[in-house]
Amino acid sequence: MAPPRPYWKGYLKLSLVTCPVSMMPATSESEKVRFHTLNRKTNNRVVSRYVDAETGKVVDEEDEAKGYERGENEFLVIEDEELESVALESARTIDIEKFVPRNTIEWVWLEKPHYLSPSDEVGHEAFSVIRDAMEAEKVVGISRLVIGRRERAVMLEPCGKGIVVWTLRYGDEVRKPENYFDDISDGDNDPKLMSLVTSLIDERSKPWNPDMVQDPVQEKLKEIIESKRKSAKKGAKPKGKDEEPAYTGNVIDLMSALKKSLEKKSGGKSK
């Protein structure tokens, strides 16, 4: 099957080294079941329109503007020209500005991955040199890029023969973990409990497989849709969900629970 068409094409630049590249999102939601909002009476689709909050009248597209709220019901109108004035000079070049050790960027900063590859034979050598040099030094590149009319900070990471471009969250979007974890105890754990937990981990450890993250809800939705396509039967009741065990409020003996977990796995009693 032919790869999908790239949605972004431009240049990868490091100092005087430049090569043409193309980029595609590394993830896709095209297989997800999506629904439209319909008018139940006519079965026609419902369209969304912007409406003036005070007059209730529909706003024409040419009258729509971006506004920054400076107080209650007070806005500063920001024109498109003003937004463009602070944008990158080139929206088609990934200019690597700096390099940082890969192990210094935590997962929380990573947002969405994209695959980057050379777009013609001429650029293969320059692309592979930049990729392999980053791999050898165990570093990633930091740059900026315009995606979907929005300027983003990005991280370039070697990935096999290609490069993955991760969009990065901005500093004010990431909350500090200590604000949530500081009150959690990091005291000494009971060695017996640790032994039981590590035994459970060993027994349940398997090689990674994408099947581990299948979406059962999507599969069931597809079954419902296929059933409706094939049958005109009405009023069928959906199958009931498995009931969750009710919480009794009793304090569970952790040691006992872990031992029972191991017994259930092995079919016998743990020592």
In this predicted structure, which of 20-29, 92-101, 220-229 has the lowest mean pLDDT? 220-229
What's the pLDDT score for residue 167?
A: 94
pLDDT averaged over every residue in the chain: 82
**262 burial class (0-12, 13-18, 19+ CB within 10 angstroms)?**
middle
Segment 241-267 shows an average pLDDT of 62
Q: Which residue has the higher pLDDT, 61 or 139?
A: 139
Q: Any bridge partners for residue 166, and if so which?
A: 113, 155
Percent share of the chain, pLDDT over 70: 85
Coil, helix or strand at residue 108? helix
What's the pLDDT score for residue 162?
A: 96
Instruction: Tell me how far the alpha carbon of residue 128 is from its chain's centroid.
Output: 27
Segment 177-200 shows an average pLDDT of 85
Residue 248 has pLDDT above 60, yes or no: no
Residue 2 has pLDDT above 70, yes or no: no
Segment 18-37 shows an average pLDDT of 86
What's the pLDDT score for residue 247?
A: 46
Q: Give the β-pairing of 8-14 and 93-95.
A: parallel
Residue 268 has pLDDT above 80, yes or no: no
Q: Full-prediction pTM beyond 0.95?
A: no
Cα separation, 130 vs 118, in Å, equals 11
Contacts of 18 (CB under 8 A, 6+ apart): 11, 12, 126
Q: Where are the alpha helices (DSSP H) in the chain?
A: 80-85, 124-137, 178-181, 191-204, 216-230, 254-266
Instruction: Work out the number of other CB atoms within 10 angstroms of the CB of residue 18.
Output: 14
Q: Model confidence over 40-98: pLDDT tens digits?
A: 899 899 988 899 988 989 999 889 888 888 888 888 888 877 776 766 666 789 999 89
Quickly state the pLDDT bin for 141 (edges 50, 70, 90).
very high
Closest CA to 221 of 15, 75, 13, 32: 32
Instruction: Work out the number of other CB atoms within 10 angstroms of the CB of residue 41.
Output: 6
Q: Any bridge partners for residue 150, and if so which?
A: 147
Segment 111-134 shows an average pLDDT of 93
Q: Which residue has the tokens 């990674």?
A: 208
Q: b or e along 189-227 (b: 16 or more beta carbons within 10 Å of the residue's beta carbon)?
A: eeeeeeebeebeeeeeeeeeeeeeeeeeeeeeeeeeeee
Closest CA to 8 of 82, 112, 105, 161: 112
CB 37 within 8 A of CB 133: no
Backbone phi and psi for residue 130, each to the nearest 5 degrees, phi listed first = -65, -45
What's the pLDDT score for residue 134?
A: 95
What's the pLDDT score for residue 254?
A: 73
Q: Model confidence over 156-170: pLDDT tens digits?
A: 999 999 999 999 998
What's the pLDDT score for residue 252?
A: 57
In this predicted structure, which of 39-48, 91-100, 200-209, 235-244 has the lowest mean pLDDT? 235-244
Segment 173-195 shows an average pLDDT of 85
132 to each of 10, 26, 116, how far by Cα in Å? 20, 20, 14
